[in-house]
Structure 1
Amino acid sequence: MKEFKTKDIFNISIIGSASIGKTSFADAVLYNVGVATRQGKVDDGTSLLDYESDEQSRKLTISSAMFHVESDDKKINFIDTPGYPAFVSQEISAINVCESSLVILGAVAGVEVLTKKCWKYSDSEDQSKFVFINMMDREGSDFYGDVEQARSRLSKKIYPIFLPIGNGSAFKGIVDIITQKAFYEGDGKITEKPIPDDMKSLVEKYRSELIEAVAENSEVLLEKYLESGELTETELMQGLKLGIISNDIVPLMAGSALANIGVKKCLEYIIKLAPNPEDKAKLIKCIDDKGQEELKRVGVDGPTLLQIFKITDEPKIGEFFYFKVKQGTVTQAQELIDTNSKQKERLGHLYVFNGKNREEVPSLYPGDIGATAKLKHIMIGDTLYGGKDNIQIELFKFPVTVITQAVEAHSEKDREKIGEGVQTLNKVDPCFQYENRAEFNEMVISGMSKLHIEIMVEKIKKKYNVEIELKKPKIPYRETIRKMASAQGKYKKQTGGHGQYGDCHIEIMPTPLGTGYSFVNKIVGGAIPGKYIPAVDKGVQDAMVKGILAGYPMVDIQVKLYDGTFHAVDSSDLAFQMAGRMAFKSAAEQAESVLLEPIMNVKVIVPDDYVGDVTADFNQRRGKIIAMEAVEDGMKMINVHVPMAEMYQYSIDLKSMTKGEGVYTKQFERYEQVPSSIVKQVIEENKVE
């Protein structure tokens, strides 16, 4: 394979909502450049990019896929990303390593909720953008309405450079505003013709808008435009590229990926206009040797520096680690340092991919994307470095998971296999997480949606041949007391020979919520020898593990040991542990035990139109509105404290209430007493066995 220098490398992430033809566009590109002998299709399972069995059976993209094309001594790396929020980690990592994004819109669907989210991710990484309105051959398509919608919902800097010839079944080609020519496509051929008479005024309108936007990005071009009122095609392209690099212009194109109309011309413009890694060079947040953040400009020259952005677990092959070369040249068998774990890693063979097909390469230059296999300690986001100083590129920022389920295995052997499976999937997808809750001997998994959990569980079932049942996770309730109480604990046992004797008097009292447990020794005069005091403390804490109401741990209690007796021969640590345990249980029964529940701090962002429905729903969930504020045009953030027990599968309800436009985060805030009206119900439903 030919080697490509940084100036000739271009990285494009294909992003957008689900079911609008991102993968179909990619398959059309691969067919047009001769990588594929026929155009793959998602619906019939022949796509080169949706090659996993789960993707083919569900007919949707689950994992991002890499492919590249070579043209005019240039290499263009594309990353096709999933459109469902379930797989947002794939999209975020792809955006992080690409200088540009191609945003696909559906001609009928227009700008969807997920499109806006994709756009925001792209903006956060300072990407340049191109827009392609797909499915122009669908009935109900409205190109000009889509343009205005895109300008109002995404960016006012969007400027069409293609206009469609016809809509719906009458769609047959595009008008190129820059060259002022019409291109009709069919049967794999492109025919150039003059612009149709009924489109000339539209072409003039949008071309004038484009020229004005281009002129504003260059003093030289602005002066030329003011003098002559026109720019040459060459000048227009020069100014357009400057505007794209600076994010002041977003060119918009149109076509149909399935019909392969407009795709070739779109690729031509991406090759001519997309910025290379040097054009979008930026300061990278790094961590120095002292753990402090610093901004470092990463250039072409210097020790090899790369960042892992994707990991796959391939059947019969093992793991592949995909990386972006940030600096220096990567070669086979090169030894680098994982600056996170400080472990050495030796690279194996290097590969570039077109879907599942891989090609070995001897080296990769700065800005390029490739993969290697069988690294030992690496996780997504980790940095590999060949220099002597410590450079750790800032990790990708993934969203917090929003849905949690408990996993029940049919056997201990299955449980071990499931544990191995969730660890592997967490490595592949950081937004799929797991936790073993020792309190309930329960494994819980978390993800971004119900679909996300379902697909991950199916992967584990299939790979490890296990049965998995998903259940509602248990709530970590706690117990405490509401008044002071005193009690004696006396443990006396005689079994022949030395016996067991321990005697203690304690006083327990409630402390403010969240202050935890404390033990106070008030023994005077040697009533209990000092060597047995820790044993009493241990016995008390052992008793607190299981409360008297429902068997939950007891918290926020001060225990004062103030008296006791001992036996010179029969007393022991074990005896005083038992005495402490007995004393605490006796005192707790007198101290008005109450049940505490975990309260979550929830922040929901929704369009103004849904604020009423969302707040009303929180009232039904025993939520307390803490704050509400505008965060952007037409959107509000609602901050509410809600019992954890009321938040089960909230993401599903929020999606239904807001038609998918609402997003939320949650984190533990504190414990509060369960209202007396529902204590009995909660105890019956959640009593610890």
Structure 2
Amino acid sequence: MGDRTHTSAHPGAAGRAPTADHPASVRNVVLVGHSGSGKTTLVEALALAAGAVNRAGRVEDGTTVSDHDEMEHRRQRSVQLSVVPVEWDGIKVNLIDTPGYADFVGELRAGLRAADAALFVVSASDGVDGATRAVWEECAAVGMPRAIVVTHLEAARADFESMTDLCAAAFGDDDPDAVLPLYLPLYGDHGPDGHAPVAGLLGLLSQRIYDYSSGRREELAPDPAQLPRIEAARNRLIEGIIAESEDESLMDRYLDGEDIERKTLVDDLERAVARGAFHPLLAAAPAPEGSRQGLGTVEILELVTGGFPTPAEHELPAVTTPQGAPAPPLACDPAGPLVAEVVKTASDPYVGRISLVRVFSGTLRPDETVHVSGHGLADRGHPDHDVDERVGALSSPFGKQQRPLTHAVAGDLVCVAKLTRAETGDTLSARDNPLLMEAWQLPDPLLPLAVQAHSKADEDRLSQGLARLVAEDPTMRLEQNRATRQLVLWCLGEAHRDVALERLRTRYGVRVDAVGHKVSLRETFGERTTGRGRHVKQSGGHGQYAICEIEVEPLPPGTGVEFVDKVVGGAVPRQFIPSVEKGVRAQAARGLASGCPLVDVRITLRDGRAHSVDSSDAAFQTAGALALREAAAGARIDLLEPVAAVTVLVPDGYVGPVMSDLSGRRGRVVGTEQAGRGRTLVRAEVPEIEIGRYAVDLRSLCHGTGSFHRTYARHEPMPSQIAGKFREQDQKGG
């Protein structure tokens, strides 16, 4: 961390895939931050500093390490997780770059699952947003080690000192001294715009200058005049390190005036970082054109390799048998039982399906047969499965390249080819000892997208294309809604939706049209009424004869359709009573006033007439349907709409706007409760038709800091004014 002797990889390493033979030589680090914070730029700068790419930031085939999807270039935004392995001081570092946009939080959660530590990337121009703070709290809850990197220091309004205070307030929880800088920036000469660029760093512990102005890090002795500037920051850092030290005597020695040696401080710092008790703050800036090392890159790599834990130090997810029986806890041991997990699935036009796999235990080798278990996502279009599959070639991900590997040990990340049945979230284990890992948390997709094939040719490919789409992205949910007869793809937001449509078209050759999403409306009678169905036809030969009289009365919500026979005297022969019921129920399913299913009524058969020759099952079915239609013609029919029970989790400052917004959606707030520090859970009941876009609107209302969950509660009568509009649309075919 600015004080370690190291030997970085040389430029020739750009053509070689880093390898690891033991968990101790692996670090898995996920980069977290809002969109535009500079995560991908930082990954490329770290790859350049480690010698994984050439001075132009390219690998040998001319692509950059961030070249993964043409869609990302068009959108100028990362939409998927990517892994860039580099080597530093003999340690393989898997840099896991995640999208910062909220619609792709599923990729972020996959990155968190694959990682053992996190770098939170914060832009000096934009500060810390609420979504980044929320992810920080998630990491804190599971004890994941974290550090902060401040980027965009070259911006005109960038201020490192202000960012230090801001990060301490945002990430310091109850102890701001747990978030402290390890270096202070040194500024060069003022440019024409009056802004002084960051030219180097001043190490607080080493009291050495690390000059990057030449494009390569040079260590220099400081000017004595510079030392007083760092005295206060250095003392605070030393006190913060000692406060987290496992050596209880260290604080007394420090307070007694003893000069604690630097090695002791660095060792204690690294231990505190590894156990998630201390969070260093570092600075980064891009390398000048043609330079090899950007400002802060060496310091970040030293922190990652020296301060972040190995996979063996990270608590592993729980495992069971595929049947749910308990299994012994896993250890990150290359010689242990094989347990790995698919954290990402992608399709390559030449190789086919490629699975990014984190090996948690054992050693994965090509051409071996493994057991694939996938449970718990059947509601999202991922049915449970337990199958055996043969592992294809193993490779190390690096931009568009796949560099062959002979094996992958516990703790490492590897790409596996041709796992045709495995999907994101599935567990790979030994065929003779199948296991299932505890699933990671996935956000609920709450933005509906109803689709239909654009043409007959697209219709033939639609089912397969959608199946492959949801296999790659478990945050999507595919629904065949029988009530509305719509095919609905549930997404996380508008950008997520647009990417899904584009992938269907470009990757799977399926064009679809988006249509308006419908909610499952129902009808009921608003009053008691009667109806008579007469189906009499005489056209020579065998005719049709059936007459029935019914009474219809409304029932409490949730009752359904109840049929009662009260015919006396054999007016309707006993063998035709079921026929009347069948006809009535068929008409109820088709609906009456607006084509929505009829529910919550009791239909009583009171009387009728039959003919000894012309009466039949079909005739009485028709008469029953006609009787129900006649009853509806003279009665008030209420349109019922589904109501959702909604829980909205927001920071306290947004409770008022959220409750007001819910009321504007015809919602009823039923209560609020505290849900942790500074957050409130709002409970409400809202008509589903009013929250079709709530996933998007809530994000805008709360600046990405709110979340919500919805479950079906019941159907309720729709206000007559709104019901009238629906019936008008139905009559117009809309």
Q: Same fold (TM over 0.5)?
A: yes
Mapped to 1, the partners of 2:141 and 2:328 lie a distance apart of 17
* Structure 2 counterpart of 1:78, one-letter code: L
Per-residue Cα deviation, 1:412-441 (whole angstroms, up to 9, x for no partner):
333444444333222222223333334444
Q: Percent identity?
A: 28
Mapped to 2, the partners of 1:231 and 1:655 lie a distance apart of 49
Residue 190 of structure 2 is aligned to residue 164 of structure 1: no
CA apart distance, 1:678: 3.0
Residue in structure 2 matched with residue 227 of structure 1 by the alignment: 253
* Structure 1 counterpart of 2:481, one-letter code: R
Distance 1:484 1:125, change over 3 A: same
Per-residue Cα deviation, 1:429-469 (whole angstroms, up to 9, x for no partner):
22233333344443333322222212222222334556544
Residue in structure 2 matched with residue 280 of structure 1 by the alignment: 314
Residue in structure 2 matched with residue 325 of structure 1 by the alignment: 359
Residue from 357, 371, 374 that aligns with 1:337: 371
Mapped to 1, the partners of 2:542 and 2:697 lie a distance apart of 65
Residue in structure 2 matched with residue 249 of structure 1 by the alignment: 278
| Structure 2 unaligned residues grouped into runs of 5+ | 1-16, 189-194, 289-293, 375-384
Residue 656 of structure 2 is aligned to residue 612 of structure 1: yes
Residue 222 of structure 2 is aligned to residue 195 of structure 1: yes
Mapped to 2, the partners of 1:384 and 1:135 lie a distance apart of 41
Residue 402 of structure 2 is aligned to residue 362 of structure 1: no
Distance 1:658 1:342, change over 3 A: closer
CA apart distance, 1:686: 4.4
Residue 123 of structure 2 is aligned to residue 106 of structure 1: yes
Distance 1:594 1:186, change over 3 A: same
Residue in structure 2 matched with residue 646 of structure 1 by the alignment: 690
- Contact in 1 for aligned 2:369/2:431 (Cα 8 Å): no
Residue in structure 1 matched with residue 162 of structure 2 by the alignment: 145
Per-residue Cα deviation, 1:326-362 (whole angstroms, up to 9, x for no partner):
1111111111112331211111111111122111112
Per-residue Cα deviation, 1:255-293 (whole angstroms, up to 9, x for no partner):
2135511112211221111101111134x3334465367
Mapped to 1, the partners of 2:422 and 2:572 lie a distance apart of 55
Distance 1:46 1:640, change over 3 A: farther
What is the DSSP-based 3-state SS (H/G/I as helix, E as strand, rest coil) of the residue aligned with 1:513?
coil
Residue in structure 2 matched with residue 178 of structure 1 by the alignment: 205
CA apart distance, 1:138: 1.4
Residue from 391, 398, 403 that aligns with 2:435: 391
TM norm structure 1: 0.92
- Contact in 2 for aligned 1:81/1:91 (Cα 8 Å): yes
Mapped to 1, the partners of 2:389 and 2:214 lie a distance apart of 50
Matched ranges for 1:530-679 at <5 A: 531-567=575-611, 569-679=613-723
Residue from 294, 312, 324 that aligns with 1:291: 324
Residue in structure 1 matched with residue 296 of structure 2 by the alignment: 262
Distance 1:258 1:120, change over 3 A: farther
CA apart distance, 1:142: 1.6
What is the DSSP-based 3-state SS (H/G/I as helix, E as strand, rest coil) of the residue aligned with 2:524?
strand
Mapped to 1, the partners of 2:533 and 2:137 lie a distance apart of 63
Matched ranges for 1:68-147 at <5 A: 68-147=85-164
* Structure 1 counterpart of 2:391, one-letter code: L
- Contact in 2 for aligned 1:352/1:371 (Cα 8 Å): yes
- What is the CA RMSD across the aligned residues, in angstroms? 2.7
CA apart distance, 1:196: 4.8
Distance 1:635 1:233, change over 3 A: same
CA apart distance, 1:223: 1.0
Matched ranges for 1:201-212 at <5 A: 201=228, 203-212=230-239
Mapped to 1, the partners of 2:271 and 2:371 lie a distance apart of 37
- Contact in 2 for aligned 1:211/1:230 (Cα 8 Å): no
Distance 1:13 1:577, change over 3 A: same
Residue in structure 1 matched with residue 47 of structure 2 by the alignment: 30
What is the DSSP-based 3-state SS (H/G/I as helix, E as strand, rest coil) of the residue aligned with 1:54?
helix
Per-residue Cα deviation, 1:659-688 (whole angstroms, up to 9, x for no partner):
343333333322111112333223213458
* Structure 2 counterpart of 1:310, one-letter code: K
| Structure 1 unaligned residues grouped into runs of 5+ | none
Mapped to 2, the partners of 1:592 and 1:163 lie a distance apart of 76
Distance 1:333 1:512, change over 3 A: same
Mapped to 1, the partners of 2:344 and 2:551 lie a distance apart of 57
Moved more, 452-461 or 210-219: 210-219
Mapped to 2, the partners of 1:531 and 1:251 lie a distance apart of 83
* Structure 1 counterpart of 2:487, one-letter code: M
Residue in structure 1 matched with residue 291 of structure 2 by the alignment: none
Residue 340 of structure 2 is aligned to residue 311 of structure 1: no
CA apart distance, 1:569: 4.7
Per-residue Cα deviation, 1:77-134 (whole angstroms, up to 9, x for no partner):
1111111011111110110121101111111212122321332343344321121111
- Contact in 1 for aligned 2:45/2:286 (Cα 8 Å): yes
Distance 1:169 1:495, change over 3 A: farther
Mapped to 1, the partners of 2:427 and 2:566 lie a distance apart of 55
Residue in structure 1 matched with residue 240 of structure 2 by the alignment: 213
Residue 424 of structure 2 is aligned to residue 380 of structure 1: yes
Mapped to 1, the partners of 2:360 and 2:567 lie a distance apart of 66
Mapped to 2, the partners of 1:80 and 1:551 lie a distance apart of 50
Per-residue Cα deviation, 1:488-546 (whole angstroms, up to 9, x for no partner):
43433445544444444433322211232233445567665555444333212210123
CA apart distance, 1:411: 2.5
- Contact in 2 for aligned 1:27/1:40 (Cα 8 Å): yes
- Contact in 2 for aligned 1:550/1:688 (Cα 8 Å): no
